[in-house]
Amino acid sequence: MADKKLGFFNTNENLSKSNDETPVPRKGYSKEYQPPLVPRSPDTENTSVTPAREAESVKSDTVINKRIERKTMRVPEDQFFEFMALLDTSEYSYVYELLGDMIDQRLNTLNTSELRIYQSALDSIKRTEEKKKNRRKK
């Protein structure tokens, strides 16, 4: 009894022994090397990436990330609260879903001349944003 140590120092009794008398760790614990976990991006599908496909997926991720740009929109506090209340009462989980639905509803109410003005304004905004991106790259 005097040679037994208290607590975690007495590890030989906590481990089960195999036939060759080497300690085997408890169930669920292993000291073997495991590759690091690859985080999933919210912009891509929820598929796990294996190390063999990792190089292949890097190319597709860069293409996806180039297409998806995130912007910030600042709105007055009262409108923000109203929008969040609409989001809570809607079937949507994300802000961009509700915003997209609101945009679609508004576009459906435009007449042809207003729709043409909208399309030209949209194209103009996209062109200026593309010019800004090209200036930043250089």
3-state secondary structure of 23: strand
- Placement of tokens 């597709």 in the chain: 60
What whole-number distance in Å separates Cα of residue 105 and Cα of residue 113? 17
Residue 47, domain member (yes or no): no
pLDDT in tens, 89-107: 999 889 999 999 999 999 9
Residue 122, domain member (yes or no): yes
Q: How many domains does the chain have?
A: 1
Residue 42, domain member (yes or no): no
Residue ranges in the chain modelled with pLDDT below 70: 1-30, 42-67
| pLDDT the model gives residue 81 | 93
Residue 48, domain member (yes or no): no
Q: Which residues form the domain of 97?
A: 93-138
Q: In sequence order, what are the residues at sequence separation of 6 or more whose Cβ sits closer than 8 angstroms to the Cβ of residue 16?
A: 23, 24, 26
